Every structure is written in structure tokens, then in C-alpha cells.
Chain A
Amino acid sequence: MTSELVIKDLHATVDDGAKAVLKGVNLTIRQGEVHALMGPNGSGKSTLSNAIMGHPHYQVTSGDILLDGESILEMEPNERARLGLFLAFQYPVAVPGVSMANFLRTAVSNVRGYTDQPMVSDNNRPGMVGSNLMPMREFRNELLSKMDEFHVDRSFAKRYLNEGFSGGEKKRVEILQMAMLQPKIAIMDETDSGLDIDALRVVSDGVNKLAGPGLGILLITHYQRILNYVQPDFVHVFFDGRIVISGGAELAHELEAKGYQWVKDEFGEAELVKA
């Protein structure tokens, strides 16, 4: 069965309800599809990402988010992750003192269901406590091969998560995490921002490697250039809290050429009139 994420007339606020940011978003993403979402700064793209993943600072006031027909609004972010949602952060967060390997092993063990199993202890090491994480050796092999595949230096396994990583390194590591967690639907919030040309190629190659029938992608971006590498099936223009135009890949070129002014002219007025 093809999984689908359906966002229905979603309204959301931030700042304890003080500010309405999402004003009726409608979007369906199926496994196997690549959607590009473009829109001016502050229009609410990250808010949409956060709302989908369940960030506690963003309150959904009406509408719904359904994964395979089930509302996920009441679920904790970790439950959403386990159902196959993934968010590549616009600004990945540093967690000092926590090695990437340790973090990822715990994450993978949760998402793949290892942690549902009872603890088993390793009889060869008396006194060692049982564990229900993914077996160390297996995990290590997988991590190292994925690090090679996605061009993340192996030394990063021992480094503290995102701490002192450059902007580009953080983005690559987001892709690596996505590769390890194997989501069904991934939201990539400006994963292409702040990258030099080579990094952009690495990241878009990464996206292309992961893309396929098992993965639906919402690619949030400001730039046409990533779309030279990653072919979107759909392009949506996001403006003032909702999607105002949807089309095919050609829409991205049009935006690149004309900027957002025409969108503002067309839809900004309407909002003003409405308000």
C-alpha cells in the first residue's frame, strides 16, 4: 500500500495562539512523489514542517493532518517518527556531549522497533546490563557504509551531535540521519540552503539516492538550483500561510525568473481585501 500524508485545511498559530501563521494549507504527499515548496521568508514553511512533526510551540487550531487516513495531531513527535515521518531541520540542533553514533543507534532502535523487544544481556560480559538497542556491530556496519555513501566523514560518528558542525556538515548529517531512519514521508526544510556548489551536489545526490517508490518528499527551498538536480513532480508556491499556486516543474522556473512580486500582487491583495 502506498502511504500518504494528507494535510487538510490546516490552520496553526505560534506564540501561544498570539500569531496565526498557517491559514488553510491543503496538500497531499504520497510515497514516491517529490513535491517542491517555495515561498518568501516568513510565509510559514517551517511552521508547516514543525506542525507536521508535532513541535509543541505550534498549535493546530483547525484542520487535520492524516497519515494513511489516521489523524496524527494527538501524537508525540516520536510516535510520528515511528510511523515513518521525518523532518530534516532548517536549523539542526546541537546536543553537546551526545555522540552522533550513540544518538543514531538509539534513534534507529526506536524507529525500527528494537526498543519494543525485551532487554537481552550479553552473556560473555558478566555484569553488563542488558540492552534492547540494535546490535552494536550491525549498527556500526550500517552506519559506516551509509556515512561513506552520503559523504560524511567517518570521524563524525564520534563527534557530538551537530556541535561545531559547519552549516553544510549539518545538512549532510540530516541526510545521513534520513538514510538511517528510512522514512516514508520526509520533509526537507531548506536542506539546500547555505551549501557551496559541491555540497549542494552531495546533498542533492543524497536526495536522489533516497528518493524512490518508498519515499515521499516535501522539499522546501528558495532556489531553483536544487531543482536542476532533483526533479520535482509538483511545485507549490507558499504565500502568507497557505499554498496559492501548484504546478509542475516549470512553475519553479517561472518563479526564478519573475520573483515573488507577482504572487504578492495577485494574492497579497486578496488577503488584504479579506482582512
Chain B
Amino acid sequence: MATASDREALSGVKDDYQYGFSKPEEYVFKARKGLNHEVIDQMCDMKNEPDWMREFRHRSLDIFLSKPMPTWGADLSGIDFDDIYYYIKPTEKQGKSWDDIPASIKDTFDRLGIPEAERKFLAGVGAQYESEVVYHSLQEQWTKLGVIFLDTDSGLREHEDVFKEYFGSIIPPSDNKFAALNSAVWSGGSFLYVPKGVQVDIPLQAYFRINAQNMGQFERTLIIVEEGASVHYVEGCTAPIYASDSLHSAVVEIIIKDGGRCRYTTIQNWSNNVYNLVTKRARADKGATMEWVDANLGSKVTMKYPAVYMMGPKAHGEILSIAFAGRGQTLDAGGKVVHGAPNTSSKIISKSISKNGGRASYRGLLKVAKGATGSKSTVVCDALLLDDHSRSDTYPYIEIDEQDVQVGHEASVSKVNEEQLFYLMSRGLGEEEAATMIVSGFIEPMVKELPMEYAVEMNRLIQLQMEGSIG
């Protein structure tokens, strides 16, 4: 008869296997599940953070605990905050080998055309990384120009002054429950500083993924673009398959000074059990431009509305958002533009695709403050439904406190057009191939904004999503 400790050992073994391709969890430290002030203190001790950050985290936790769950958007009742590890620090050790990765996952990587090095990374057999980002590629030349590109923890350690000046200034913990949660337990993410007048002309990239069972990911990204500088930051996420629900709740804050430009591109393909609740906001000063390009394919629930606050005259904000909702998925995405100064302009383009009963919504806010004269804004949201039981909703909120403005709003919902399908099929394309081509065409205005390799990956992701969706 097995003793209690045998059973424990055995169940441990079983758990290891059920993780599928998550690597064995070897951590120098692993916090308890659940969240309280003690966990925060442990985390701060481990990370050796300054007192002001410790206070900030504690304060944020209080705000998190005091705020109710949002009741709009998507059903979040599946999140159990007590069943999540809030901080895990990786060891220096390597994980398992590439041979241990299941063929199906390798196959997916193949079909996505992910480069060798990145595959290993994504499969968790490359460099160790969990809550802390350890993958950054940055050309040396930028470093010479004074560009700082670090994971956020290192950013805090190595550049505390700049960090402290901007951190939490765009998205305070009180902004919403999940921003408060992130503020309390953030770990990893990117810290990017582009000095005055520096043009970073290749996209900077960072990869994140969830790895530990039930571990929430709470990256915190802070980007500062000084006067007349410009940068394109690209974030791609791919997650492996999990046995139980996962929470991902990031915060991204961006400050663009006068005449600066920033583009932030995201391609997100979380596995279909992830709650992805992200707060992204940028402040654009005089004549500055902010562009969010945001594509969301996976996840169980995504709630994400990248925002641009145009606070200086002639600032410009653009949001291109794509959501692809399949079976059992709710993608509530969109954008917010706030015109806080005269002659500011903005454009929101949202494209959503729903299939197999998936639900994609556009939720957007357009706000023009009093005094923001001569401002212009266009909002276009198009939804494509692949079948009769999928759903698309549009929630455009418009608040305009100024007379002298030009605002346009267009929305359309369409089904995959049978005449288009027949036309393409009459030229030899199979039905699924034809439907995929129509869907790719539908999102093409956005895909063409992506860097080449991401555009390729995006089209592959669409193909994978479309597989088996016909007949």
C-alpha cells in the first residue's frame, strides 16, 4: 500500500507529465498561490526593489482588492485569483531538450515558419524565462546612440531616475482593477528609452509567453520616446497548451514627447484558455504620433482597448485592431482616442472575424475635450462573420465637448460572400482556401502595416485558424 508521501510523490510525477510541453519547473523561489501583502513583500525582497516600489505595490494591491470585477465586456467569472502564482523566478538552468517537444507543437511552429532559435525559445527549451524577460535583441548601434532597451526589472535597477519619473504616470493603479493587479505584482516586460532625435529604424522585438501552470503573467512595459525621436516596438506572443486557465494582465505605458513617433505592434496568439486583460495607453505630446497595431487571435477572453491621449496640439493617434474569435472565444477589443488639445487627429480601424460560434466585439471610445478645436477623427469598424452562429457587436462610445470638430464613424457587418467564394472556386481554389483568401484580404489593410516576417506569420496564423472551419 502506498503511503501518503508515496502518493504525493506519484502525483507530482503525474503533474509533471500533464504539463505536456511546459518544461520542468525548477525555480529558486516559488511564491505561494494567491495574493496578499506578504507575497508582495517576498517578491520585493527577492527582486531587491527600492522602497518606493514596495510601497507602490502595496498601495496597488489595496486598490485591486477594493475594486469590483468589471461587469461589462466579457465573462470573467472563470478567473480564480487564489489559484494563481503571482511571482516565479527562474533558475539559470536549461529546460528540457527539443526532442521532448511534442510533434504537434513542432508542426505548428513549422507551419508558422518560426525561425529555429525562436522555436526553441517558444517551446521553452532555449533560454530560461518566466516572469522575467530574458530575450531582447538590439543592434549595438542603438546602444551607442543612447537607446536603452532592457527588461523592466533591469530598467528599474539600472535607470531608476528616468524609470521613477514615468512609471505609473500614464496608467495609475486606480485606472482599473487589472491595472491595479499588474501594478501590485508586475514582473518582466520591456523598458525602452529613445533619446531626443534618435530614429530607431529597425523594429525592436520582444517575446513573452506563459509557461508555468496557472501562472499569471503581469508584464509591465514602459516606453519613453523623447522629442523628435522615433521607434517601432514589436511584441509577439505565442503560448503553449495548458491544462487549466491562465491569466495574462499586462500594462503598457508610452510617453511620446513633442514631434516623436512610436508604433507598437502586437500579434497575439494565446492558447484558448488564457484570459488576456491588458491596459495599453500612450500619451502623445505636441505634434507627436502614436500608432497601435494590435492583432488578437487566441485566448479564451481578450479585453483590450489600446488608447492614445493626444495632449499636445497636432498630435496624431492611430489604432489598427484585429480580432479573430473562434469556438468558445470572446474577443472584446477596440481602442480609445482622447483629443485633449487643438488640431489633433485620430483614426481607429477595427476588423473582426468570428467563426464557429466565436464572439468578437468592437468597443471604442472617442472623446474630444473642450478646447480641442479643429480636431478630426475617423472610426471604421468592419466585422466579418464566417457562419450563422458566430457573433459580432459594436459598442462605439462618443463624447464630444467641442463644437469645432470633424468626426466620422462607419461600421459594417458582412458574411463571407457566396459570390466571392464561387468566383474563387471557379478558378480552382478549394472552399477552405477560398474562404481563407477572403479573410486574408479582409485584414490585408492591417497586415500590410506589419514588418515582413510578421506579415508572413500573421497569414499563417489565419490559415491555421481557418483550418476545418468549412463544411
| B422 & A95 in contact (Cβ 8 Å cutoff) | no
Give the contacting residue for B456; candidates A80, A93, A128, A160; CB below 8 A: A128
Q: Which residues of chain B have C-beta atoms less than 8 A from A128's C-beta?
A: 113, 456
Q: Closest B residue to A113 by CB, please name it.
A: B428
Q: Closest A residue to B111 by CB, please name it.
A: A129
Q: A159 at the A/B interface (Cβ < 8 Å)?
A: no
Q: Which residues of chain A have C-beta atoms less than 8 A from B235's C-beta?
A: none
Q: Which residues of chain A have C-beta atoms less than 8 A from B431's C-beta?
A: 76, 78
| A98 & B426 in contact (Cβ 8 Å cutoff) | no
CB distance from A190 to the nearest CB of B (A): 16
How many A-B residue pairs lie within 8 Å, measured between CB atoms?
98
CB distance from B371 to the nearest CB of A (A): 39
| A127 & B430 in contact (Cβ 8 Å cutoff) | no
Q: Which residues of chain B have C-beta atoms less than 8 A from A129's C-beta?
A: 110-113, 456, 460
**CB interface residues, A 48-89, toward B, < 8 Å:** 53-57, 76-78, 80-82, 86-87, 89
| B424 & A95 in contact (Cβ 8 Å cutoff) | yes
| A107 & B422 in contact (Cβ 8 Å cutoff) | no
**CB interface residues, B 344-389, toward A, < 8 Å:** none
**CB interface residues, A 208-256, toward B, < 8 Å:** none
Q: B429 at the A/B interface (Cβ < 8 Å)?
A: yes
**CB interface residues, A 97-155, toward B, < 8 Å:** 97-98, 103, 106-108, 110-111, 126-129
**Contact (A56, B422) CB under 8 Å given A81-B428, A82-B428, A107-B429:** yes
Q: Which residues of chain A have C-beta atoms less than 8 A from B427's C-beta?
A: 78, 81, 103, 107, 110-111, 177, 181
A46–B269 alpha-carbon span in the complex (Å) = 44
| A106 & B429 in contact (Cβ 8 Å cutoff) | yes
**Count of A residues near B, CB < 8 Å?**
34
| B444 & A111 in contact (Cβ 8 Å cutoff) | no
A89–B420 alpha-carbon span in the complex (Å) = 12
**Count of B residues near A, CB < 8 Å?**
35
**Residue interface bits B109-147, CB-to-A below 8 A is 1, else 0:** 011111110100000000000000000000000000000
A93–B419 alpha-carbon span in the complex (Å) = 7
| A92 & B423 in contact (Cβ 8 Å cutoff) | yes
CB distance from A80 to the nearest CB of B (A): 8
| A106 & B433 in contact (Cβ 8 Å cutoff) | yes
Give the contacting residue for A97; candidates B428, B429, B440; CB below 8 A: B440
**Contact (A95, B460) CB under 8 Å given A103-B427, A106-B437, A111-B428:** no
Report which residue of A57, A89, A98, A128 has the largest number of chain B beta carbons within 10 angstroms of its beta carbon.
A98
**What are 12 A-B residue pairs whose CB atoms fall within 8 Å in the complex?**
A53-B422, A54-B426, A57-B418, A77-B422, A81-B428, A95-B423, A96-B441, A97-B440, A97-B441, A97-B442, A107-B424, A108-B428
Binding site for B on A (CB under 8 A): 53-57, 76-78, 80-82, 86-87, 89, 92-98, 103, 106-108, 110-111, 126-129, 160, 177, 181
Binding site for A on B (CB under 8 A): 110-116, 118, 417-420, 422-431, 433-434, 437-438, 440-445, 453, 456, 460
With A107-B424, A111-B428, A128-B113 given, name 9 new contacts (CB 8 A): A53-B422, A76-B425, A78-B425, A81-B425, A93-B423, A98-B438, A103-B427, A108-B428, A181-B428
